[in-house]
Amino acid sequence: MAHRANDVIDSGGVLIVGAGLAGLFAALKMKGPVTVLAAASLGSGASSTWAQGGIAAALGPDDSPELHARDTEAAGAGTVDPKTARLITSEAAARIDDLARLGVPFDRDANGGFVLGREAAHARNRIVRVTGDRAGAAIMAALIKAAHTESRIKVLEGLIAYELAIEGGQVVGVYAHPLADKTSPVLIRANATIFALGGVGGLFEVTTNPPQARGQGVGMAARAGAIIADPEFVQFHPTAIALGRDPAPLATEALRGEGAILVNDRGERFMTAVHEDAELAPRDVVARGIFRELRAGRKAFLDARAAIGARFPQAFPTVFAYCKSADIDPRTELIPVAPAAHYHMGGIAVDERARTSLKGLWAIGECASTGAHGANRLASNSLLEAVVFGARAADDVANTVGLGVPAQSLAPTANENQPIALAVASLRRTMTQDVGLERSKAGLSAALSAIAKLEGANAGDPDMRNMAATAMLIAGAALARKESRGGHFRSDCPTADPALAKRTFTTLAEVRAAAAHAVCDSRATASLQVAQ
């Protein structure tokens, strides 16, 4: 589809920006016309398609939503909103039924019941899967097929949203540009706009996320004045497969759930000395355990030979294919692993109806922060949160338009086709080095300074403005949180402070003001003061 400069497209009422699980599920739950905008063709460019483990739901006879909520709270390290945890766990069964009705071929036992797998920090078997490790691809394939059969769902592919359109303090859609042409903006108008733009992993040099996951949703909303929650909490997956690829392929946690162990290049099982649950300790603990092995100059490997062995190709076909593509046979060989930026617990602050603080804007999926994950997400709770809040947003927009506080007006700024590849690479390096698994005051201050300079030098680029805003929120909130909790570890404040066991709610303006005090570089300070 070709767009002329300043084209205006009418969404027909509701616009969903992002076509991963959250966006597509919300579209399917609606009754009326809806337009779905996606940066890439449906199914690609979405973390949802890459999900391997599955969806957490308390469906076993020995399980309950309350037990699931308690595990969610324990993993979240003291900052999970208890109400939201119970909300997602109690609505899980109904949403799994919805997905099954939409055609998702979940693994079933001989009696037609769900096969329930186990993952780290879950006290019960409660992961609903598809063909072992193919949950994401199978769920997305079913949803895409269902969406194509509904003529009320209009899909716009290959458009990058870069700015909220705001009139009279109300969000009225987004400005977007075609993938390869930043000079031809198009306005997509809507009465209700739902952001489903995914995560931030691509802001880091080593990530499991697709390149489209670069915090565009958080950045756009924050630049328009939205309240952002918990931006400092980023989860690093312990076992990305270390093949030097970008993004790094994932070796699902379910491998460790089935008994695979972690060893270093001396053959030592190092996690037993780190935590009583060894390889099944919380993700942040395992990720730091591996990080420290690597920092000490050793290598880390996943050893699935005894636990999985010959079953590997059938039990974990996706991971098997990744390994084989690098000439590694995981039935008989070790899999090299390294931690990678994986999931953002923070995001655009929303209430239990998925409403943001801006009039006319809802947010769902990974770009939103509902309070369900606290400082550390429990494995397989994110797909669950995406469908629970996708359904809730669909219900709410059906009856509501125009709540929340007025948004700040932003003029659709001129687009320039700038070669920003080097700036993006520099931003990603900074984020991994100084805003990654181990953070400190000195590193975070240096990162804020570097981000501000990159932002100033690339102010004409619409995508870079959003990436820089999100990076600044993550680094600024990490600097402000002077303790270690969940995914956020400060080497200069390595313990948790009970007085700080609460969520962060902030705005870009607040983070910029605090950052201006923290950085001493005059060029960076100037950029922090003028940028929007």
What's the rounded Cα separation, in Å, for the pair 361 and 351?
12
State in angstroms the smallest separation of the CB of 209 from ligand FAD: 5
One residue of 22, 166, 242, 493 binding ligand FAD per CB under 6 A: 22
CB half-sphere exposure, 180, CA atoms < 13 A: 2
Q: Does 208 bind ligand FAD (CB under 6 A)?
A: yes
Q: Considering beta carbons, is residue 365 or 374 the nearer one to ligand FAD?
A: 365
State in angstroms the smallest separation of the CB of 159 from ligand FAD: 6
State in angstroms the smallest separation of the CB of 82 from ligand FAD: 20
State in angstroms the smallest separation of the CB of 434 from ligand FAD: 22
Q: Considering beta carbons, is residue 90 or 264 the nearer one to ligand FAD?
A: 90
Piece of 36-44, 256-264, 293-301, 400-408 that binds ligand FAD (CB under 6 A): 36-44
Q: Considering beta carbons, is residue 3 or 305 the nearer one to ligand FAD?
A: 3
Cβ contact 477:511 at 8 Å: yes
Q: Residues 248-277: x/- map of binding to ligand FAD (CB under 6 A)?
A: --x---------------------------
Backbone torsion region of residue 429, taken as left when φ is above 0, otherwise alpha when ψ lies between -120 and 50, otherwise beta:
alpha
One residue of 209, 356, 376, 504 binding ligand FAD per CB under 6 A: 209
Q: Considering beta carbons, is residue 308 or 383 the nearer one to ligand FAD?
A: 383
State in angstroms the smallest separation of the CB of 178 from ligand FAD: 11
State in angstroms the smallest separation of the CB of 507 from ligand FAD: 21
One residue of 14, 21, 308, 423 binding ligand FAD per CB under 6 A: 21
Q: Does 423 bind ligand FAD (CB under 6 A)?
A: no
Q: Considering beta carbons, is residue 89 or 525 the nearer one to ligand FAD?
A: 89
Distance of CA 376 to the CA centre of its chain: 12
Whether omega before 238 lies within 30 degrees of 0, making that bond cis, reads no
Question: E strands, 217-314, where?
Answer: 228-229, 234-241, 261-264, 300-303
Cβ contact 451:472 at 8 Å: yes
CB half-sphere exposure, 473, CA atoms < 13 A: 36
One residue of 17, 116, 241, 452 binding ligand FAD per CB under 6 A: 17
What's the rounded Cα separation, in Å, for the pair 503 and 79?
6
Q: Residues 358-387: x/- map of binding to ligand FAD (CB under 6 A)?
A: -------xx-------------xxxx--x-
State in angstroms the smallest separation of the CB of 499 from ligand FAD: 30
Determine the 3-state secondary structure of 202 from DSSP. Answer: helix
One residue of 3, 23, 255, 360 binding ligand FAD per CB under 6 A: 23
One residue of 54, 65, 202, 404 binding ligand FAD per CB under 6 A: 54
Q: Under rule CB under 6 A, which residues in 117-156 are in contact with ligand FAD?
A: 135-136
Q: Considering beta carbons, is residue 195 or 270 the nearer one to ligand FAD?
A: 195
Distances (CA, A) of 366 to 350, 354, 461: 12, 12, 24
One residue of 14, 69, 160, 281 binding ligand FAD per CB under 6 A: 160
Backbone torsion region of residue 11, taken as left when φ is above 0, otherwise alpha when ψ lies between -120 and 50, otherwise beta:
alpha
Q: Considering beta carbons, is residue 72 or 212 the nearer one to ligand FAD?
A: 212
Q: Does 53 bind ligand FAD (CB under 6 A)?
A: yes
Q: Considering beta carbons, is residue 114 or 270 the nearer one to ligand FAD?
A: 114
What's the rounded Cα separation, in Å, for the pair 27 and 38?
13
Q: Which residues are known to be catalytic?
A: 283
Degrees to nearest 5, angle at CA 445 with 443 and 451: 100
Q: Under rule CB under 6 A, which residues in 214-253 are in contact with ligand FAD?
A: 216, 250
What's the rounded Cα separation, in Å, for the pair 213 and 491?
27
State in angstroms the smallest separation of the CB of 240 from ligand FAD: 8
Determine the 3-state secondary structure of 180 from DSSP. Answer: coil
In 168-326, which ranges are continuous DSSP H helix?
A: 216-223, 254-257, 283-295, 312-315, 317-325
Q: Is 32 exposed, middle or buried (0-12, 13-18, 19+ CB in 10 A)?
A: exposed
The token pair at 231 is 């931006």
Strands 347-349 and 368-369: parallel
Q: Would you give the DSSP letter of residue 331?
A: T
State in angstroms the smallest separation of the CB of 114 from ligand FAD: 15
Q: At what angle do helices 216-223 and 462-480 cross, to 10 degrees?
A: 90
Piece of 13-21, 316-324, 428-436, 453-461 that binds ligand FAD (CB under 6 A): 13-21
Strands 7-10 and 186-189: parallel
Q: Considering beta carbons, is residue 43 or 476 the nearer one to ligand FAD?
A: 43
Piece of 145-153, 195-203, 225-233, 424-432 that binds ligand FAD (CB under 6 A): 195-203
3-state secondary structure 84-146: HHHHHHHHHHHHHHHHHHCCCCCCECCCCCECEECCCCCCCCCEECCCCCCHHHHHHHHHHHH
Q: Considering beta carbons, is residue 48 or 370 the nearer one to ligand FAD?
A: 48
One residue of 26, 30, 37, 137 binding ligand FAD per CB under 6 A: 37
Q: List interacting residues with ligand FAD (CB under 6 A).
A: 17-23, 37-40, 45-48, 50-55, 135-136, 160-161, 196-199, 208-209, 212-213, 216, 250, 343, 365-366, 380-383, 386
